[in-house]
Structures are given as C-alpha cells and as structure tokens.
Amino acid sequence: MKKAFLRYSLLGLLLMLLFIGCSQDSDAPDNTTQPPAADTEAPIVAITAPAQFEFVGDTVEIKVEVLDDSPIREVVLLIDGDSVAADQSAPYRFQWIFTDENDAHTLFARAVDAEGNQGLSQLITVYSILDVTAPVVFITYPADDSFVSGDVLIRAEAGDNLGVARVTFFVDGDSLATDTEAPYEVLWSVDPTEEAHTLYATAEDGQGNVGVSQLVTVYSDSLDLSPPVVVITAPINLATVSDTVQVMTQAVDNREVTRVEFFVDGELSATVTTAPFNWQWDTTGEDNGFHTLLAKAYDAAGNAGISQLVNVNVQN
C-alpha cells in the first residue's frame, strides 16, 4: 500500500511540474525577428525658384527641394505638362530656355524614391517676356569733382525690370572689379601719382542688356598740379584812375586759393590772403601816366596762376 501511495504522489508531482512549465512558456515574450515595414510614404517635393507668377527672361533657373526617408531615384521637371529634364542627384537644379516669348508657362516637379513612391510639387506659373530693357546704374560715391586719397569704397545703385546680374566698376577706362550682389561696391586704392581719375560702372541683367552709369571725375588729394585762374575785373584796360582805386579780381582753383599778389609795373605792391581778393591801390605815390597792373594767385600746393596785364592811366 505504501508503494502505491508513493507511486501516485510522484505522478501528481510530475503533472504539476508539466503544468507550470506550460504556463511559463505561454507567458514568455516572442523574440522572433519581424521583417521591416515597407516604405509607402511619397517624397515631399517643392519648387523653391522661380516664385509663383514671376516674370522671367528667356533663360530661367529652376530649383527643386525634396524630403524623403528613402533615397531619391530621380527628380523630373515638367513644363506645360511635358517632361523636359531629369536629375538624379541633389541639389536638383534645372536651366531652361523658353523659345516662345511673352507667354505663360506652368512648372511642376515629380520625385521618385528607391521604393518607387512618387511625390509631386506645387504648380508654378511663370511668364516669359522678351527683355530688351537695360539696367539703370548710378555711382553714389564718391561725388563728382571730389578729392580722394588712400582706399576709397566706390558705391553704385542698380536696378532692372527683371533683376541685375552683375555690376562692374571702371577706373580710367580699365575694369576694376565686378560685384554680383547688392549693395554694389568695390574698394579702390587711389594712385597718388595721378592728379585726376574718371570712374563709371556698368550693370548687366540676365539677358545680356547693359546699362552704363554717369562719369565721375575725382582728384587725388595728395597731388595737385592745377594752378588757380585769376582775372583782374577792375579797373578795365586803358582806364584813367586817380587817388585810391580798388583793384578787383576773380580767383578760382580746383581746391582753394590761398593768396593773391598784386604787381604794379612788375613790382610786388600788395598781398591779399582772404576772399574777395581785392586791393585798395593808392595811386598818389605813382607818377602820372600809364602803369601796368598784374595779379598772381596761389593755391596750397604752391601752384600759381597769372592774370592778364591791365594798363591804366594815373592822373592825380
């Protein structure tokens, strides 16, 4: 009887262990590797240039941006519904020439990723026009007839109906530099050995139309070779004078007149250092009869200009 009890006890224990084992197996996580989900998302496509309803010339650059989780196989450009070009690598850029002028065109792009998913961009409408209008360009600095030295920043303003592609600066007829972005400017080192320089600029648009600025003349501040100009305006030639007479002059210079000297019969008689450069001549110390008057004007650089001779008849 003890053997039978022991037999049945062992059988029950075995059944209990089997039950526990089955329960644990049913609760264990499934470590089986699952295959990755297929990519079914279409690429996101956008045309970033030109802008909607933009006026363009006969040649236009079209820029396309694409976002996607999978590699992009290609981007196709369509104009007026026709596929015209494809690009397989970023950045996606297309150059297109419109052969019919003054017309509207629709643009959109299609991107295809490695899984075959396709995305379409927005629809862009542009207007191609025949552009024969040259840009307008104007030098804003330095001013005409100004004095310059050292390094000078030449500035220009330029505008065009479709857009300025580049502005080129010229000094004394030679090309100095080209700027492709506003503000249009270039640094110029002034040649101190030359007294005067002429500046101008040209502006070109994307269609090859060229506009030319005004001519600007500037002078080297470190070199002045121009003498003043001086004229005796009174008394007039062959005038009869007596007592004290006012000798009047007009004196001008490209910079500044610093003094005017007055000569009677070739002898220095007076010096005037402030404008107006006039002199009160006391003729009572002169002999009666004809005498010559002459004026000589100086600038800061020591350049001198001489007036005409004026003959006067002194009668006291």
Q: Which residues are within 8 A (CB) of 296 and not within 5 positions of it... i.e. 6 or more apart?
A: 230, 260, 261, 263, 304, 305, 306, 307
Domain ranges of the chain: 44-128, 136-220, 229-314
CATH topology of domain 44-128: Immunoglobulin-like (2.60.40)
Query: Residues 78-83: what's their mean pLDDT?
Result: 94
* pLDDT single digits (tens) 111-137: 999 999 999 999 999 988 777 889 999
| DSSP secondary structure, 113-175, as one string | ETT--EEE---EEEEE----PPPEEEEEESPTTEEE-SEEEEEEEEE-SS-EEEEEEEETTEE
Q: Which CATH architecture has domain 136-220?
A: Sandwich (2.60)
pLDDT over 90 for what percent of the chain? Answer: 70
CATH topology of 136-220 equal to that of 229-314?
A: yes
| Averaged pLDDT of the chain | 88
Query: Residues 74-94: what's their mean pLDDT?
Result: 95
3-state DSSP: the chain helix, strand, coil percent, rounded to 5? Answer: 10, 55, 40
Higher pLDDT, 9 or 60: 60
CATH topology of domain 229-314: Immunoglobulin-like (2.60.40)
**pLDDT value at position 24?**
53
**pLDDT value at position 114?**
93
